[in-house]
Structure 1
Amino acid sequence: MRYNIAMVSDFFYPQPGGIESHIYQLSSKLISLGHSVIIITHAHGSRVGVRYLTHGLKVYYVPFYVLYRESTFPSVFSFFPILRNILIREEIEIVHGHGSLSSLCLEAILHSRTMGLRTVFTDHSLFGFADPGSILGNKLLKFTLSDIGHVICVSHTCKENTVLRASLDPVTVSVIPNAVVASNFRPDPSKASSEYITIIVISRLYPNKGADLLTAVIPNICKIHPTVRFIIAGSGPREIDLEQMREKFQLQERVELVGSIRHEDVRDVMVKGHIYLHPTLTEAFGTVLVEAASCGLLVVTTKVGGIPEVLPSHMTIFSSPSEDSLTQSTLEAIKLIESKAVDTSKFHEQVKGMYGWHDVARRTENVYDIVAKIDNEPVIDRLKRYYGCGIWAGKLFVMCVVIDYLLLRFLEWLYPESGIDRVRKWPRRPIDKSLLAGENSESAKIESEDEDSGLGGTTATA
């Protein structure tokens, strides 16, 4: 079947990141499978309104206030009127939310279920259970997913974490990993220096991404190995710490801070290096690790979360999330590169055979087939599930759902569905037979076409 799908998340281009890339690539492949896909996210600077990306992918940039780390202020009900208008205009059948910290995602799932639409949620992150922020976030996630059609996680570790946090039935949770367009991350040995061992870091510079570890490890490695240099791309609150470290140890010529870069420029930075360093403290999958291996880099990373599931052992050197362990693992990687004990030239072809967006799209399509067959339950059954979320929280959740139903009735009276224009759909593509067959040769051809089209053709519409 062909579906009208709405991807909803606070995290999308032009903001760089793994979730952003996942949504774009998955949406593009679903369009290639013949589905109609739109994306709903918040405005980014002057990018407000409706934009079209390549493949006819329509993006709604909704003007909402950003609270923290690109997540909008949780308004609960104020998003409903504009969301309802978009969903009716686009004749959406399935709403697919991404990111457990995305307010737009969680609110869209709640309102879509009130409207009787099918819903899917993809979790891309890992969270704890003890700190106040995690406790509150987990409670909200449990509320939102109490009436979800199906949940997708990007790794088995992520699945275990999400099932516990949201008290889900494991049967309703599937594992579908991220992927990369391998043709966009081809190695280029001519770009890497023959005089230095170059270590690449591309990450948001936040504490949970290991920025503090990075600040401590770099001086140790530079002191031991005079032929090692670092290229660090990314921005965040810990960027100032890296600048101070560079000044303190006089490493201006050996530590290059590139700042934030666009996703299409990631490959140009990676091919300059020999080793990719990923000092994160928590990670559900780590798409950047696959991209680095595809570029022919030996990966040094902490053994946390779902990272051990991503790459085979000959591509990766694992470390515990500590300064001494990460230093030793990086020195081991430098030794392997200097002695040429590991052949990184074969990594690209191996990654190309392991990960592909055509496979992710087909598996996601199977999830849509599952939720499309689920019958809508009576309102009272839905309220019972929300009531079971806690002694006090359950009553609050039921109250929110009741208000949501009343708001829907008010909106139906104020703006009748019959008075909302239906948009003219972008011509659907013929179903791509190679995606259905999942042939690697054809997949490479499709990914090559994606590379040629790029993201540079973004245009504004009325």
Structure 2
Amino acid sequence: MPYNIAMVSDFFFPQSGGIESHIYQLSSKLIDRGHKVIVITHAYKGRTGVRYLTNGLKIYHVPFFVIYRETTFPTVFSFFPIFRNIVIREEIDIVHGHASLSSFCGEAILHARTMGLRTVFTDHSLFGFADAASILTNKLLKFTLSDVDHAICVSHTCKENTVLRASLDPLMVSVIPNAVVAENFCPLSHTTRPPDQTLSSPPDPPLSPRPIGPDDPITIVVISRLFYNKGTDLLIASIPRILASNPNTRFIIAGSGPKAIDLEQMLERNVLQDKVELLGSVRHEEVRDVMVRGDIYLHPSLTEAFGTVIVEAASCGLYVVCTRVGGIPEVLPQHMTTFAKPEEDDIVLATSKAISALRSNRVRTDRFHDQVKMMYSWRDVAERTERVYEGIIGDISPEEFYGYYPGQGWEASGDRVRSFALIDRLKRYYGCGVWAGKLFCLCVVIDFLIYVFLEMWFPRANIDIARSWPRKPPAPKSRDSNTSRGLR
């Protein structure tokens, strides 16, 4: 059965990143499967109002004040009138929020439940439990997910983190990884047309992979936001040592952020401008062109729920050196990666090992693209997400969706099918803490009163229904789908 779905997050194009790409690719594949999908995000510079992207994906850019890293100022209630108008205009059935730090996401899930809509949340990040920022974020996540119908995480490590942070029933959290459009990340050995060749020209034959000799130069690529959590400090400390121990090596670094000035100062201090090329921020469609210039991809992140960029790097035929943190060890098989501890000495050692492995031709990087193409598919992600929608809507039975069958204790498994009754919602929020629980209940009551006021003074009959983009016939399920193997 086709659904009308609203993807809600502060993070979307024109900003580039893993969450933005995930929302776009998932939405596009769901449209291919016959569903109607819209995206609700905040206004970006030069982008306000309604926009359309490829495949008929409709974007609502809502003008709200942005405070930090493209996150809007949390207001709890002021978003409700606009959100209600959009949801009624588009006849939305399911609201799907993305990212723990997105104010739009948390507020949309609260308002959607008040309006009697089913909700899904996808977590893309890992957070700690000790520092003040994490404690506050975890409490807000608990508020967001206390009444959500189902949650999705991009890795098993991310699922464990989210279950602990939000005190969720593990059966209400599914693991659906990110994916990559492998055709957009082909290595040079698969390239049939150089970038400057016109479309009318006949394609060139595929290039043969070049074996790396003991004296050939090695290029290490880094594409990342230059923030502390992305391991930029480790990168800055490691580059001079890697270049000193491997003279015939150079770096290409793409990305921007507050740590860019520290990186530039390190290059000037060590006089490495001729061995390190800084490209600044690059668009997502340019990432492949940067990656194919290298042989090794270095990813020194301190925390990562999944790490889509390392899948893109492997698809481009790069050998990956990455830190063993978060969900990264789940992403690629061991023959594609060399792992390091998030420490300077270990990153230098792991990078040197990777360089030696390439020079001795112990690694067959020419096979990486075809292997990644078999492992990750956005079509598979869309099918598995669609099954989550079927479960919360009720198109499949709770026993089938959660994996419980008669005689296995389903009756005592708890309240997994969320009721819309206000008293039931208040019971769920009241257990969030001695003081926080009461505050959350107050927010829910106020939200409900605002909804009643809007229904009385701005009735639904006065809101015009938007014409939908012509639906596509539902795509058949792929035979190699992981849906039948379960979500958890």
Which category of TM-score, normalised to the shorter sequence, fits these structures? Answer: over 0.9
**2:36 aligned residue:** 36
| Match in the other structure for 1:437 | 478
Q: Please point out which of 412, 426, 433 is paired with 1:383.
A: 426
- 8 Å CA contact retained: 2:316, 2:369: yes
Output the aligned Cα RMSD: 1.4
Q: Does 1:418 align with 2:439?
A: no
The corresponding residue for 1:405 is 448
Whole-Å separation in 2 of the counterparts to 1:361 and 1:179: 10
The answer to whether the 8 A contact 1:383-1:401 is kept is yes
* Corresponding residue for residue 251 of structure 2: 230
* Cα distance in 2 between the residues matched to 1:215 and 1:193: 29
Question: In structure 2, what residue type is equivalent to 1:326?
Answer: I
CA distance in 1, matches of 2:425, 2:285: 43
Find the structure with the greater CA-based Rg: 2
SS at match of 2:257: coil
Cα distance, 1:67 vs structure 2:
1.0
Q: Which residue of 2 aligns with 1:57?
A: 57
Q: Answer whether contact 1:285 1:310 (CA < 8 A) is retained.
A: yes
Using the TM superposition, give the Cα deviation of residue 322 of structure 1 relative to its aligned residue in structure 2, in angstroms: 0.2
Identity %: 68
Instruction: Note if contact 2:179-2:308 (Cα within 8 Å) is conserved in structure 1.
Output: yes
Aligned equivalent of 2:313, options 292, 311, 336: 292
Displacement, 1:126? 0.3
For residue 350 of structure 1, report the CA deviation from its aligned partner. Answer: 0.3
In the other structure, the counterpart of 1:111 is: 111
Query: In structure 1, how many angstroms separate the alpha carbons of the residues matched to 2:463 and 2:81?
Result: 12
Q: Work out the CA distance in 2 between the residues paired with 1:175 and 1:439.
A: 17
Report 1:135-174 matches (<5 A). 135-174=135-174
Q: What is the aligned counterpart of 1:339 among 335, 341, 360?
A: 360
Does the aligned pair in 1 maintain the 2:419–2:425 contact within 8 Å?
no
Local SS of the residue matching 2:22: helix
Aligned to 1:451: none
* 8 Å CA contact retained: 2:148, 2:418: no
Partner secondary structure for residue 402 of structure 1: helix
Amino acid at match of 1:111: H
Mark the runs of 5 or more structure 1 residues left unpaired by the alignment. Answer: 441-462
Match of 2:411 in 1: none
Once the two structures are superposed, the pairs formed by residues 58-457 of structure 1 within 5 Å of their partners are 58-189=58-189, 195-373=216-394, 374=417, 376-433=419-476, 436-438=477-479
Q: Structure 1 pair 329/375, CA: closer, same or farther in 2 (3 Å)?
A: closer
Task: Tell me the amino acid that sits aligned with residue 437 of structure 1.
Answer: S
Q: Aligned partners of 1:267, 1:193: CA distance in 2, in Å? A: 21
When normalised by structure 1's length, the TM-score is: 0.93
CA deviations over 1:94-135 (Å, ceiling 9, x no partner): 000000000000010001001010000000000000000100
How far residue 152 of structure 1 moved from its aligned partner, in angstroms, is 0.3
Asked whether the equivalents of residues 147 and 418 of structure 2 are also in contact (C-alpha less than 8 Å), the reply is: no
Cα distance, 1:196 vs structure 2: 2.1
Counterpart residue type for residue 123 of structure 2: D
Report if the CA contact (8 A) 2:114-2:420 is conserved.
Answer: no
1:114 and 1:375 map into 2 onto residues whose CA distance is 12
Deviates more, 1:65-74 or 1:19-28: 65-74
Please give the alpha-carbon distance, in whole angstroms, between the structure 2 residues aligned to 1:63 and 1:69. Answer: 16
Does residue 48 (structure 1) correspond to residue 91 (structure 2)? The answer is no
TM-superposed deviation, 1:417: 0.7
| Cα displacement (A) at 1:341 | 1.4
Residue identity matched to 1:391: V
2:119 is paired with a residue whose SS is strand
Amino acid aligned to 2:176: I
| Structure 1 CA distance for aligned equivalents of residues 16 and 306 of structure 2 | 16
What is the deviation of 1:439?
A: 5.4
Cα drift, residue 414 of structure 1: 2.4
Matched to 1:237, the amino acid is P
Distance 2:235 2:456 in 1: 57
Segments of 4+ in structure 1 off by > 3 A? Answer: 189-195, 374-377
